Structure 1
Amino acid sequence: MNRKKVVPIILIFFFVIVSIFFPYNKMLELSDEMFVTHEELKELLNSDFLLSSQIVSVSARDDSDFDKYIINYKLFNLFNIKRLKVNVLDPDRYFAGGETLGFSLQSKGVILIGGNYILSKNGIERPFENSGLKTGDIITKINGIEINNSQDISKILENFEGGSIRLTVNRSGNIFEVDICPALDSMSNTYKLGLWVKEDAVGIGTLSFVNATTKRFGSLGHSINDSETNECIEVSGGNIYTSKILGIKKGNSGKAGELIGTFNRENVLGSVDKNCDYGVYGFVDCVESVTKNKTSVDIGGRLSAKPGKAQILSALDGDEIKAYDIEIIKTNFQQSCNEKSMVIRVVDKELIAKTGGIVQGMSGSPIIQDGKLIGAVTHVFVNDATKGFGIYIDWMIEQ
């Protein structure tokens, strides 16, 4: 055989063997920026004859909570295959949650939930019916003035002298304007829009983690959505509260169970500044109020999570946070944030007896594996309450 033909064949064969025994393509698939612990940084810097790594840049923390590294990877110490930006977390500054919280989220604007008639001197008027508005719409401005509650609307209408007003409306992310004519109510002699609106959304969920240095918390692992549109509520603020579980509605095939609880708005634990697909976030007023009698936990993430035994932390009986056994069935490779990072299954007999598995209200329950906080519960499988999804803690810490 011609030597010129043999050499390329040998090279091709060699690279095929390398691909089989060293899946460097997984290195290529890693996202360009990652959050890792010091221990995971050491793993990323491991080198062998196939793959070499070198730190090419180090940035000390400035206004962030992370030391930043840029790592360059080479195949056979010759071919550049990956440049990775790594943010290194301090492992002893985080506390796992597990307690249930009450939430109230203030939307940016008011959420339309219906319409009503107005009795004027001209008879019954219904401004809502012909306005083009729909339930679930969020009214953010009136005549260019931002509104956040029904009092803002009343204040604007106090100075209204007739004609029409212009509403700025957010419908599932689409912003548009609508002209509507308020009617003069004969009973109160005030102008009204004939709209029923609500100002906030409330719910029960579970605390996932607290950063003891910055006081930032993460919870739920998924968004709180509007009940009418099932859309994520864009918030202007909100609060978290201590809560009390009154009972548990067990889940069954085809219908998720739920934690039945209540909270007192006077018992404020902190403020909310973000509601997104990956959870509800904000700052606690006092770290000790949510870390008392707890020890700090190391942070693990995508590099730590693996199929096998793990535990979730949840408070189902009063204030006591207990660990319940689960099995991580599958971990998904992810380059970007996604609340369905892994599939989990509850195997703890006590938890199954109490709840049937995962129920609404347990979203945000921390997932602990090998002593590290690796994620949080997000969703339950409706057809099998013992199974659900979890999100990698990386994605939550980034928020």
Structure 2
Amino acid sequence: MPCLSIKRLYVLFFLILLISGVFSPYTRSLASLPAYQTAIVGEPLSFTLSMPPTLRKHIALETNRPGFLSRSGPASPPLVCRPGECFVHVKLFGVIPLRQVAVSAYPPVRVIPGGQAIGVLLRTQGVIVVGSAPVSSGNEERSPALEAGMRIGDVIVRIDGKSVTAEEDVREAVDAAGRAGRALVFEVKRGSRTLEVKVRPRLCPETRRYRVGLLVRDSAAGVGTMTFCEPRSKIFGALGHIIADADTSQGLEVAGGKIVEASIQAVRPGRRGQPGEKVGVFYGDGGLVGEITRNTGQGIFGTLEREISNPLYPRPIPVALVDQVRPGPA
């Protein structure tokens, strides 16, 4: 019995030590260190440890890349010296491992803020099906393409193996195939899938041309706002949202396009179920011209022909990382 009581005391003492260690501020401080951090070269890492100075001075930081970090003293935060990926090992007395943190460091980026009004002219990859235009034949109206399996929102990228870049490409190919008495093979993108649809054109008695009963669009235009420009590369970002087709609400895949200087003439407020809009005039020969290369959920991106200026920000300003952004006053 005395032996059993001593064992119970040992177990109880061990549990008390374990619980006090888990809930101690020092342990919680180590556990709060994120397993992954991003940083900008020249800025300190977020390594805040709630420990007494006598213990903190024995905390060592080791990396798998020499020269990645630097410290002016045990109490000072580590500074990132090089871009790239690195593992930082937090050790007590340089021996006892406490925590491992993966760090991704990036070179500093400075941009010129935008705010300028721009006109956007976008060409799509292929042509997008935005509606149907039934072909009259006697007492009935039919859409051969929709009957064959095509849908509104499909993007036509090839017809009979030939690339399609404009509405005229579709119109001419359909009419030529109809006069030759043969069907066409449309290669279309539907979401992430690519499909082939065989369609036989029908003669429209009104236009005397062969048609497949589709309305298609190959471009988009509008006005927006420049977001930023990186002065060395002249890379720009604008809008802050994806450009989508007005009829299908589908994001447009870019085959090319440009931005030009614009002047806002009016702003029409939105109403319930009807978004507002800006009305502007394009100036193709203005000082702001750029090529569009990407249309994303974060906006359009591309390259300017020349650097822009902003009188409110004569010098480029640094860009923060995502985890450095904090909500501000509205």
Q: TM-score range by the shorter chain?
A: 0.7 to 0.9
1:57 pairs with one of 43, 62, 65: 65
Map of 2:217 onto structure 1 = 198
1:281: Cα distance to partner? Answer: 0.7
Output the CA distance in 2 between the equivalents of 1:54 and 1:189: 79
Map of 1:291 onto structure 2 = 309
Map of 1:221 onto structure 2 = 240
Per-residue deviation, residues 215-263 of structure 1 (Å, max 9, x unmatched) = 1111222211122232222211111121111123346788764433332
Equivalences for 1:66-105 in 2 at 5 Å? 68-77=83-92, 78-90=97-109, 93-105=110-122
Aligned CA distance change for structure 1 residues 146 and 79 (closer, same or farther; 3 Å): farther
Greater C-alpha Rg: 2
Unmatched 5+ stretches in structure 2: 1-7, 69-81
Map of 2:9 onto structure 1 = 2
Output the CA distance in 1 between the equivalents of 2:258 and 2:67: 35
1:23: Cα distance to partner? Answer: 6.9
Aligned CA distance change for structure 1 residues 266 and 190 (closer, same or farther; 3 Å): farther
Provide the TM-score with structure 2 as the length reference. Answer: 0.74
Instruction: Decide which structure has greater strand share.
Output: 1
1:109: Cα distance to partner? Answer: 0.9
CA contact (8 A) 1:116 1:128 kept: no
Supply the AA of the counterpart residue of 2:217. K
Output the CA distance in 1 between the equivalents of 2:259 and 2:267: 21
Output the CA distance in 2 between the equivalents of 1:37 and 1:22: 23
Does residue 17 (structure 1) correspond to residue 24 (structure 2)? The answer is yes
Does residue 244 (structure 1) correspond to residue 244 (structure 2)? The answer is no
CA contact (8 A) 2:123 2:255 kept: yes
1:164: Cα distance to partner? Answer: 0.9
1:138: Cα distance to partner? Answer: 1.3
Output the CA distance in 1 between the equivalents of 2:32 and 2:198: 56
Per-residue deviation, residues 328-349 of structure 1 (Å, max 9, x unmatched) = xxxxxxxxxxxxxxxxx2xxxx
2:153 pairs with one of 128, 136, 139: 136
Does residue 180 (structure 1) correspond to residue 199 (structure 2)? The answer is yes
1:42 pairs with one of 35, 41, 44: 44
Output the CA distance in 2 between the equivalents of 1:127 and 1:24: 64
Output the CA distance in 1 between the equivalents of 2:59 and 2:206: 80
1:286: Cα distance to partner? Answer: 0.8
Q: Once structures 1 and 2 are overlaid, which stretch shifts more, 299-308 or 261-270? A: 261-270
* Same amino acid, percent of matched pairs: 22
Aligned CA distance change for structure 1 residues 185 and 258 (closer, same or farther; 3 Å): closer
Aligned CA distance change for structure 1 residues 281 and 55 (closer, same or farther; 3 Å): farther
Aligned CA distance change for structure 1 residues 7 and 220 (closer, same or farther; 3 Å): farther
* Superposed CA RMSD: 3.6
1:81: Cα distance to partner? Answer: 2.6
SS in 2 for 1:6: helix
Count of residue pairs the alignment pairs up: 296
Output the CA distance in 1 between the equivalents of 2:248 and 2:10: 68
Supply the AA of the counterpart residue of 1:283. T
Output the CA distance in 1 between the equivalents of 2:148 and 2:66: 58
CA contact (8 A) 1:58 1:68 kept: no
SS in 2 for 1:202: strand
CA contact (8 A) 2:108 2:318 kept: no
Aligned CA distance change for structure 1 residues 11 and 75 (closer, same or farther; 3 Å): farther
Map of 1:321 onto structure 2 = none
Map of 2:290 onto structure 1 = 270
Provide the TM-score with structure 1 as the length reference. Answer: 0.63
Output the CA distance in 1 between the equivalents of 2:195 and 2:204: 27
Output the CA distance in 1 between the equivalents of 2:293 and 2:26: 46
